[in-house]
Amino acid sequence: MSKIVVAAAQIRSTPDLDDNLRQALDAITLAAQRGARIVVLPEATSTSFAINPAKGAQPLDGPFASAIRQAAAAAGVTVIVGLFEPAADGRVHNTLLVTGPGVEASYRKVHLFDAFDTVESDTVAAGAGFVVVDIEGVKVGLATCYDVRFAAQFTALGRMGAEVIALPASWADGPGKVEQWQLLTRARAADAQAYLVAAGQAHQESPKPLGVGHSAVIDPVGRVVSRLGPGPDVLVQEIELDRVAQTRAQIPILSWEEENDG
Question: How high does pLDDT run on average in the chain?
Answer: 96
Report in angstroms the alpha-carbon separations of 146 from 69, 111, 211. Answer: 26, 6, 13
Domain ranges of the chain: 3-260
Whole-number pLDDT of residue 1: 65
The pTM of this model reads 0.97
Residues with a known catalytic role: 43, 109, 145
- 82-107 tens-digit pLDDT: 999 999 999 999 999 999 999 999 99
Q: Among residues of the chain, what percentage have pLDDT more than 90?
A: 93
Confidence of residue 169 (pLDDT cuts 50, 70, 90): very high
Side chain identity at residue 84, one-letter code: F
Whole-number pLDDT of residue 191: 98
Q: Are 133 and 142 in contact (CB under 8 A)?
A: yes
In terms of C-beta distances under 8 Å and separation of at least 24 residues, what long-range contacts does 113-121 make, across chains too? 113/145, 113/146, 115/146, 116/172, 116/174, 118/172, 120/94, 120/146
- 187-226 tens-digit pLDDT: 999 999 999 999 999 998 776 778 999 999 999 999 999 9
- Tell me how far apart the alpha carbons of residues 26 and 36 are, in angstroms, rounded to a whole number: 14
- CATH tag, 3-260: 3.60.110.10
- Tell me how far apart the alpha carbons of residues 138 and 3 are, in angstroms, rounded to a whole number: 10
Q: What is the mean pLDDT of residues 147-172?
A: 98
